[in-house]
Every structure is written in structure tokens, then in C-alpha cells.
Amino acid sequence: MSLEEPDPRSRDVGETPEGTVDYDALEALLGETALDREEHVNATAFVVRPDEVQEALNALRDEAGFDYLSNVTAQEYADRYESIYHLKKYDDPTQEVGVVVPTVTDAPVSQTAEPVYRTADWHEREAYDLVGIEYDGHPDMRRILLPETWQGHPLGSDYNPEKPQVVPFREHANPLQPDSRGEGAESDTMFLNIGPHHPATHGVLHVKTVLDGEQIADVEPDIGYLHRCEEQMCQQSTYRHQIMPYPDRWDYVSAGILNEWAYARAAEDLADIDVPEYAQVIRTMSAELCRICSHMLALGTFALDVFGDFTAVFQYAFRDREVVQNILEELTGQRLMFNYLRLGGVAWDIPEPREDFFEMVRDFLDGLPEKTTEYHNLITSNEIFQVRCVDTGELPPETAKQYGATGPVARGSGVDIDLRRDDPYGYYEELDWDVVTEDGCDNYSRVLVRMREVEESAKIIEQCVDLLAEWPEDEREIQSNVPRTLKPDADAEVYRGVEAAKGELGIYMRSDGTDTPARFKIRSPCFCNLHTLREMTEGEYVPDLIASLGSLDIVLGEVDR
Amino acid sequence: MSSESEKLHDTVSTQDARMGDGVDSRFNSKLREAFGSTPFILTKFDKFMNWVRGNSMFMLQFGIACCSIEMIHTYAIKHDLDRFGAGVPRASPRQADVIIVPGTIVSKFAPRMKRVYDQMPEPKFVVGMGSCTISGGPFQEGYNVIKGAEEVIPVDIHVPGCPPRPEALIYGIAKLQERIRNGETSPVTVKPYELEEFGDLERDELVRHLADRIDEDDLVMRYNWADSP
């Protein structure tokens, strides 16, 4: 819970007393800038000229209070390119608005949104990389996911995947030879590659670091070493069954069901599918089990990063993950890639005998408080740990918002946002639990948030188990009626997010009337959270960089997609 | 004299002495039984080395994607790969002799993986973990995905699955140990993707186009997607 008093803030322009968005008022605010209106399933969007993007976004941010650029989607139509900025408010994420920027097909250039929202920097680089729209005034218009010498833009319509590519490998120079990339010829800085194969980077992340003594002068995360074309994969798969296995592989540290839910929620809104209440309870329970599993990994690897504890804490965390994975395997049939959610419900009911399953879950929950105490004894009250984490990697709340940080990273900076409460879905609204925030803004707070969230998740699971155990036998409907071949209305567009383990995981989908999406865009929380790394580490020491990276809890599968 | 020789015959044989109650029965083992009275064995040096190699494998700590999570679980508590003499993860490739490739390899990563593999000392072995290292797995059709680890480095054991369970990985490693013990190696398959100097590439349209952006002596990897299986 935030320590700040909730101040009765005055209403923004375009906000109704009920807390919804009055799009007519917004249109009046934008005035001449808004050329047209588009109705998306989640919100209304305004069409803006490509050279007036900043004007429109500035008005929406400063006057109407849309301080959160959630996502930037780029796509190509037959006659135009389009960038869509999905805006929300940190205070109330249900208030959404879109800004659509069409550009011409030959030489698509659009004004950058980076001066208004810092997070647009990486989003627009991705749009340039994959779709091919250039952003005028962007500080660093380079490829972000694909190698710099790549030819063509793979999500554009004229891309030929058969064409050969040449990928350079330049980091093979002798690591001992002098290499200073600081300013001026007299600079005595040292350039250091961390990754992409390094035990502390949590996967294949490459951090280009410039050191001044032991302090960090500049840090640049270089991503794309696990860019598996997830968006292309989803765009060529059918809604009904083929897409669902892919979300498991975005954030793969057992957070599968949380990711599946992101797709399920977006697709269910797009095609207007209901989900039976019983299935929602199962979804909620299994998703929270995934969250515990994911936070345990974050905790174990963070302890490994910070005090090299491969013995106790790391193994304890993995012991507890094994228990949760056993429960999830019992429920879904798989340890890691669950593929359990279906559009309109779940794949199957709680395994028989139900009592045994519930007992298994309750056993785990009963043992959890003792384990949590143990973790606190080993980790958070450990002096070495505190020296490494308290007041290092600071991320002030305003900076976190500028970078579009969500999840435990934002909540560790005192930003009170959690889509489970603020934009309710599933069964969360009916249950009794709290959103955890910490005001420290440092590495320590982010770890504390995760540890306390485990306890909150346990509370949710306990209530779900009680509900499921008493659910009348003839009302256990796990799946609503969904057509075998799903073809949402042509040109329907939706952007929906859920609170995944790392933050807001959003899906943008556009239907073209067929059974596969015309555009499938994943808004990854790790991608945005990783962007804050530079803010957190500049001027700090190298060990603090490792601690900050660990506390961000990134998963490269989700960063690169 | 006679009493002395009697005394000599009275003493228990060395083997019995070794196999007897002794200080502690824990010292009795199958190995001791096999060796009998003499602590010496006669074998070929190669055979001995293979036996040693198979039972003391240093793995490279190498995580790529989803499979690396199951790989960590294989090292960690419960499955504990160390039981089989193969569970010491080394952070440096120069200290490792087995590399488990746990995940999808994409165009940007393949040159790095090749380099890490090249840095490992001989003899070295490769376990490909998961469908992605066999064929690209669920991402095979991706524009950026290498269709299997064998496009870049030779693979000794393939463990299928998406991801394979820890038990499956242990089975794969046990099979690798068995092969090493028997002195078997995998045939080196064709490797279409090599690290080479940019200047050595055939000067086709693409290479000429990139000539002003890549130096002659930069290492590059050229992907001919149309030739990928």
C-alpha cells in the first residue's frame, strides 16, 4: 500500500464524474489535430497527421492526464503504414485512448513521440526494425531486435524470407586491448561487453558498458539474441487453437498461464466470447500459482547474482518451484509450457479425485508462511544483501512512469498500479487481496514487492480453492460455446493487457475477417522495464549494475519475443 | 623355519583381508571385488581415458531460452545432475567439455554460440536440448530462426521435447556418457553456417551492398535461408 495520502485530484479534461473517458471532450481538446475518429474494441482512437504527433500527445498527456504510453503498434496496410499509440493513465488504466498515425507507403516517415514519452524510444525502434516506419526526430533510429546489417523489414508486406543475410560478429577483438568509447581522445574510460553469454544476464542479453574506473559512464542493453519471430508466428496461426501454445514461450519461467490469459482476454474481447464463472476461478488460481513460481525464480536468481548463493537460497527457491510445478503439472499435464487456457474457458477441469488436488495445494499454502520467514531470514535481513541492495539502482516514480514501467518494478517505486485491481478481469474483483507497493525505489524494494506478492498470491489461491471445493457439481462449466472456426469481424481492433508476472502484458490484434489475425503485437513488460536500466545504473558501480539487472527480473524470451 | 612358513599360510589372503569386515564395510565395493587381491588393473590407456571422461564431465553454464529453465531444474535440487558425475556448471567455456544447447538459436546469436563452442578445449561434446535445437521447433518458420543447432555446431545427442523434462535431459546425458565411455563419436554433419571473414565471401549483390558497412576482416556469418532444410 502506498504511504501517500490519496489526494482528491481534480478531474482531467475528458474525464467524466464516473471515471470514464468522454471522447467528445478529447476531440474538442485536440481540435484541428484530430482528423478522424476510429472505434477500437477497447477505446476510441483519433487519427492524427504524421507531423503533429507530438502536439496531439502533449495535449493528451498534459491536459487530459494520459501519462502512460502503454504500447506502440506499427503495421502495414495495402495503401498506408500506421503507428498506433495506446495511451492509458497510471491512476486509472481503464481510461484509454488511441492515437493513430497513418503514413504513406513509399518512404513512411512519422514524427517521433520520444520527447513526450521516453518509452517510445525503444517502441519506435522496434517499429522501424520490423515494419519499416521511420520516426523523424528520433534520437537513435537504429534496428533494435535484428542485426544491424539485416536487409528488409520482416513484418512488411514485401519481405522475402528466402533472401540470404549476412550478420557480422564484431565483438571478437582481444578483450585486453585498450578500448575507450568515452568522449574525447584523452578519455581513460574502458569499454566492457557483458553478455550475451554471461551467467548474470539472465539469458542472452548483451550489455555494452563504458566504465570510468569502477563506475558506469554509459550502459546500453543490446537485445535481440532471442528474437524468435513470435509476432509472425501468431499472425500465421488460427485464433481458436494454434496461437495458444506460443504465449507460454514468451515469459517462459513458468509464467505460462499468465501469458495465455493475455491472449485469451484480448481474443475474447475481440470475438465477444463469454467465459463461465467456474472457469474464471480456475484461471485465477492457476495464474497465481504461476506468479508464485515466477517470483521464486526471480528471488533465487537474484540471490545468486547478489551474493553468489548457489547453495542455500537458490536451491530453496527451486525446491519450492518444484512443488508448484508439480501442482501445475497435476492440473495441466505439463511442467512448464501449460497450454491450458482455451478461448472461452480452460482445457479441462480439476483432476479427479478433486480432494487430493485441493489437499496438494493446501499443503503447499500451509507450508508457505514458514518458508517465507526462512527467505526473509536468509535474504532480506542479511546484511550483505542489504548493503548491495538498499539505495542502489534507484528509479524515481516519475522516471518509471516516463519509461512505461509496470509490475513489481513500478510498484517498487511506489507507483500504485496493478491491472488485476485497476482493470479487473477474471475473478480478482470478488476476492480479498491487496496490491503491494514499496516506496524505496531501489533494488531492495523491488525484491520486497515480489516477496510480499507471493503472500498475496497465496491468499488468492486459498480463496479460489475454497470456492472450487464447494462449487455445485452440476454447475462446473469449464468452457463456453465457441465456434470451431473463429472469424472476428473484419477491421476490428483490440488492445488488452493483463497483469503478468513482470507487469502489463498487452496484446494488440487486428482482424481482417479471416481465421488468423492480420496484425498481432505483443506489448512486453520486460521490454519496457529493461529500458529503465540506464537510468538506474549510470554513475553506479559495476556490481550495482548486476544487482539492478537482477532486480528488474527480465526474461529475454519476452524482451525479444 | 617350519613354524614361520605355517605362520605365513595362516594369514588370510590379501583379497580376504580387503573384503573382510575390516575397519568399515563401506570400503567393500564392486570395484574391489573385481580388482581382487591386486590394486592394479591392466587396460588400454584410451579406454581408461574414455572411462574417466564420461564420469567427470564439466558442463558449460549456458542458458538460451525456455529449455534453460528446465536445465537449471536438472542441476538443482530434486533432479541433481551431479549424481551422475556431470553436474559441475562452469561459467567459462575454457573450463568446460560439454555444452548443452538449451533453446532457440537466432541469427544474431549463432555467431556468438559458434565462438563459445570454438573456445572450449578438445575433446568436447554437445547435447542439443529441445525441439528448437533439432529443427527450429515451433519457431521453424520464423524469418530469424536457425533451423537447428546442427547448422552451426556438430551435435552428439538430441533430446526432443518442448521443453524436455529434467528426466529426459538426464537420460540424454547418461546416453552421452555411455557413448564417451565406449569411445564413440558422432559423425560431423555438414555445417552450412561458418564464421568467416567478410572479404572471403563471394561478391554477390548482397555483399557488394554491405561493403561500405562491414570491414574486410570482420567476421561474419552468412545465412542462405533458401538452402536451410
Chain B nearest-CA residue for A146 = B108
Question: A70 with A504: CB under 8 angstroms?
Answer: yes
Express as a percent the part of chain A with pLDDT over 90: 31
pLDDT band at A458 (very low <50, low <70, confident <90, very high): very high
Listing DSSP states for A62-87 in one string gives HTT---EEEEEEEEE-SS-EEEEEEE
Chain A nearest-CA residue for B119 = A172
Find chain A residues with C-beta within 8 A of B116's C-beta: 197
Predicted confidence at residue A508, as pLDDT, reads 93
| DSSP three-state, residue A215 | strand
Find the mean pLDDT for residues A33-41: 85
- pLDDT for B1 beyond 80: no
Chain A nearest-CA residue for B109 = A225
Find chain A residues with C-beta within 8 A of B109's C-beta: 196, 204, 225-226
**What is the number of CB-based contacts under 8 A between chain A and chain B?**
160
How far is CA A320 from each of CA A9, A215, A324, A371, A524, rounded to the nearest angstrom? Answer: 43, 37, 6, 9, 26
| A73 min Cα distance to partner chain B (Å) | 20
Predicted confidence at residue A266, as pLDDT, reads 92
pLDDT tens figures, A387-421: 888 888 888 999 999 999 999 999 999 898 999 98
- Cβ–Cβ below 8 Å for B66 and A249: yes
- pLDDT for A461 beyond 90: yes
- pLDDT for B93 beyond 50: yes
Q: Which of A153, A234, A249 to mutate to test the interface with B (most CBs of B within 10 A)?
A: A249
- Cβ–Cβ below 8 Å for B112 and A227: no
Find the mean pLDDT for residues B171-190: 82
Phi, psi angle pair for A550, to nearest 5°: -65, -40
Count Cβ atoms below 10 Å from residue A479 Cβ, excluding itself.
17
Least confident of A335-344, A383-392, B155-164, B187-196: B187-196
pLDDT tens figures, A239-261: 988 999 999 999 888 888 999 99
Nearest to B223 among A164, A169, A252 (CB): A164
pLDDT tens figures, B115-142: 889 889 888 889 999 999 998 889 988 8
- Cβ–Cβ below 8 Å for A232 and B141: yes
Closest Cα to residue A100, out of A119, A118, A85, A78? A85
Q: Which residues are CB-contacts of A262 (< 8 A; sequence separation ≥ 6)?
A: A247, A496, A497, A498, A500, A505, A506, A507
Chain A nearest-CA residue for B225 = A162
Listing DSSP states for A103-145 in one string gives E-SSS-EEE--TTT-TTHHHHHHHHHHHT--EEET-TT---SS
Find chain B residues with C-beta within 8 A of A254's C-beta: 69
Predicted confidence at residue A309, as pLDDT, reads 65
Express as a percent the part of chain A with pLDDT over 70: 95
How far is CA A159 from each of CA A130, A152, A518, rounded to the nearest angstrom? Answer: 10, 6, 15
Cell 499509440: give the residue: A85
Domains of chain B: 47-181 (3.40.50.12280), 195-227 (no CATH)
- Cβ–Cβ below 8 Å for A229 and B143: yes
Q: What is the bridge-based pairing of β-strands B157-159 and B98-102?
A: unpaired
Find the mean pLDDT for residues A181-207: 76
Find chain B residues with C-beta within 8 A of A146's C-beta: 107-108, 144
Domain ranges of chain A: 23-136, 230-560
Find chain B residues with C-beta within 8 A of A305's C-beta: none
pLDDT band at B194 (very low <50, low <70, confident <90, very high): confident
Amino acid at position A457, single letter: S
- Cβ–Cβ below 8 Å for B65 and A154: no
pLDDT band at A306 (very low <50, low <70, confident <90, very high): confident
CATH architecture for segment(s) A23-136: 2-Layer Sandwich (3.30)
- Cβ–Cβ below 8 Å for A227 and B106: yes
Q: Which of B69, B141, B147, B224 to mutate to test the interface with A (most CBs of A within 10 A)?
A: B69
Predicted confidence at residue A426, as pLDDT, reads 87
Write down the ipTM of this complex: 0.86
Find the mean pLDDT for residues A314-318: 87
Predicted confidence at residue B80, as pLDDT, reads 86
Predicted confidence at residue A257, as pLDDT, reads 92
Domain A230-560 fold is Cytochrome-c3 Hydrogenase; chain B (1.10.645)
Find the mean pLDDT for residues A257-275: 91
- Cβ–Cβ below 8 Å for A229 and B112: no
- Cβ–Cβ below 8 Å for A224 and B61: no
Find the mean pLDDT for residues A186-205: 78
Nearest to A315 among B64, B76, B218 (CB): B76
Least confident of A147-151, A276-280, A446-450, B86-90: B86-90
Q: Which residues pair with A519 in a beta bridge?
A: A510
- pLDDT for B79 beyond 70: yes
- Cβ–Cβ below 8 Å for B66 and A246: no
The C-alpha angle with vertex B114 and arms to B109 and B116, in degrees rounded to 5, equals 95
| B68 min Cα distance to partner chain A (Å) | 8
Predicted confidence at residue A287, as pLDDT, reads 93
Express as a percent the part of chain B with pLDDT over 90: 14
Q: Which of A166, A338, A520 to mutate to test the interface with B (most CBs of B within 10 A)?
A: A166
pLDDT band at B187 (very low <50, low <70, confident <90, very high): low
Predicted confidence at residue B27, as pLDDT, reads 61
Find the mean pLDDT for residues A58-80: 89
- Cβ–Cβ below 8 Å for B109 and A203: no
Find chain A residues with C-beta within 8 A of B139's C-beta: 228-230, 233
Nearest to B163 among A149, A230, A336 (CB): A336
Find chain B residues with C-beta within 8 A of A199's C-beta: 61, 91
- pLDDT for A176 beyond 80: no
Amino acid at position A470, single letter: E
- Cβ–Cβ below 8 Å for A226 and B201: no
Find the mean pLDDT for residues B158-169: 91
DSSP state of B38: -
Q: Which of B60, B61, B66, B117 to mutate to test the interface with A (most CBs of A within 10 A)?
A: B66
Chain A nearest-CA residue for B218 = A170
Predicted confidence at residue B18, as pLDDT, reads 61
Find the mean pLDDT for residues A190-212: 82
Find chain A residues with C-beta within 8 A of B141's C-beta: 229, 232-233, 236
Q: Which of B139, B143, B210, B212 to mutate to test the interface with A (most CBs of A within 10 A)?
A: B143
pLDDT band at B3 (very low <50, low <70, confident <90, very high): low
Predicted confidence at residue A2, as pLDDT, reads 45
| B191 min Cα distance to partner chain A (Å) | 16
Cell 578500448: give the residue: A179
Find the mean pLDDT for residues A457-467: 92
